[in-house]
Structure 1
Amino acid sequence: MKVQEIREIIKLVDQSNINEFVYENEGTKIKLKKTETVTVIQPTASPDVVQGNAAVEVKPAAPATPKAVEAAAPAAAVSERENLHKITSPMVGTFYQSPAPDSPAYVKAGDKVTADSIVCIVEAMKLFNEIEAEVSGEIVEVLIKEGQLVEYGQPLFLVKPE
């Protein structure tokens, strides 16, 4: 499967109301999950839809959790955090903070970045994709650890915009 085909699948799933998508073919497995939480009315049954060799299991989503319950931090910290820009992963892959294992990280908390600053690499199918900040500001927090798998749309960094 080619990277362009994977990007098309990501785009189709993103534009649909599907929350999770799994594709397996000849030893290749692609699993996509949307990170947003949605309230869904519970259906009476969870049918399996089978077409050819692909199977899609339809499951109800978990009910949305109110922000007040999710927040363990004081209200001031929560509102400050909501004003931060999230740099998200444009693809599924492996997160790397530096261009090589013996090199320093592109950025760390407290570093200033511009919109075209490279902040990390996401490796997908042996292709190393440089991720840019997309906004000028200060890196507040690195949300992912070195070598961790990331999902499409998953937040990687929090940036305080200038």
Structure 2
Amino acid sequence: MDLKELKKIIAIFQKAKIAELEVESEGVRFKLKKEVKERKTSNRREVPVEVISVPAQPLEQTQKQSQIQEQEPKLLEGTHEIVSPMIGTFYSSPAPDSAPFVEIGQEINEDDTVCIIEAMKIMNEIKADVKGKIIKMLAENGQPVEFGQPLFLIELPPKG
């Protein structure tokens, strides 16, 4: 590499928008470095941003709730749902070989145990929150249940 070629390379390097160049030719090796100044001007332009408030619930939970609401039949007047207070496994009886806590048609009082929900290896007794008659079991024995999922449909006693 002669001096003329070296000067051409240096001239090209100075005009180029690169910070470093390393060249090796015919046993000669050299490295060129320069500071690249940041451009003050920018092609960006500011665009006003509209702030939108979003509910604090995660989107997934909001979607699940709307799906549940769509699937829920409208409750008949004079009925009440006992819902799961937690996520877990629904059991209708205290042991696999014993009778269920409640059966369809059975009258229940407030605070009667209606089922068990197992959560994290702990058996949680679920109590009735109203007095009435069991008209429908909405969960299956041994199946997982979600928080807020209806477990029983209760016919409330007539007012009066």
TM-score, length of structure 2 as denominator length: 0.56
The aligned residue for residue 18 of structure 1 is 58
TM-superposed CA distance for 1:159, in Å, is 0.3
- Which one has a larger percent strand, Structure 1 or Structure 2? 1
Unaligned runs of 5+ in 1: 1-14, 22-32, 38-61, 72-77
1:130 counterpart = 2:125: yes
- For the residues of structure 1 that align with 2:107 and 2:120, how far apart are their CA atoms? 30
Q: Give 1 or 2 for the bigger CA radius of gyration.
A: 2
The aligned residue for residue 105 of structure 2 is 110
Where do 1:4-15 residues align within 5 Å?
none
Letter in 2 for 1:155: P
TM-superposed CA distance for 1:19, in Å, is 4.5
- For the residues of structure 2 that align with 1:91 and 1:36, how far apart are their CA atoms? 15
- For the residues of structure 1 that align with 2:64 and 2:77, how far apart are their CA atoms? 17
Give SS of 1:36's match: helix
Distance 1:35 1:111, change over 3 A: farther
Letter in 1 for 2:58: I
Unaligned runs of 5+ in 2: 1-54
- For the residues of structure 2 that align with 1:34 and 1:160, how far apart are their CA atoms? 30
- For the residues of structure 2 that align with 1:103 and 1:88, how far apart are their CA atoms? 23
The aligned residue for residue 89 of structure 2 is 94
Where do 1:1-150 residues align within 5 Å?
16-20=56-60, 35-37=64-66, 81-150=76-145
The aligned residue for residue 161 of structure 1 is 156
The aligned residue for residue 3 of structure 2 is none
Q: Give yes or no for contact 1:113–1:136 (8 Å, CA) kept in 2.
A: yes
Q: Give yes or no for contact 1:95–1:145 (8 Å, CA) kept in 2.
A: yes
- For the residues of structure 2 that align with 1:85 and 1:128, how far apart are their CA atoms? 24
- For the residues of structure 2 that align with 1:141 and 1:128, how far apart are their CA atoms? 23
The aligned residue for residue 47 of structure 1 is none
TM-superposed CA distance for 1:16, in Å, is 3.8
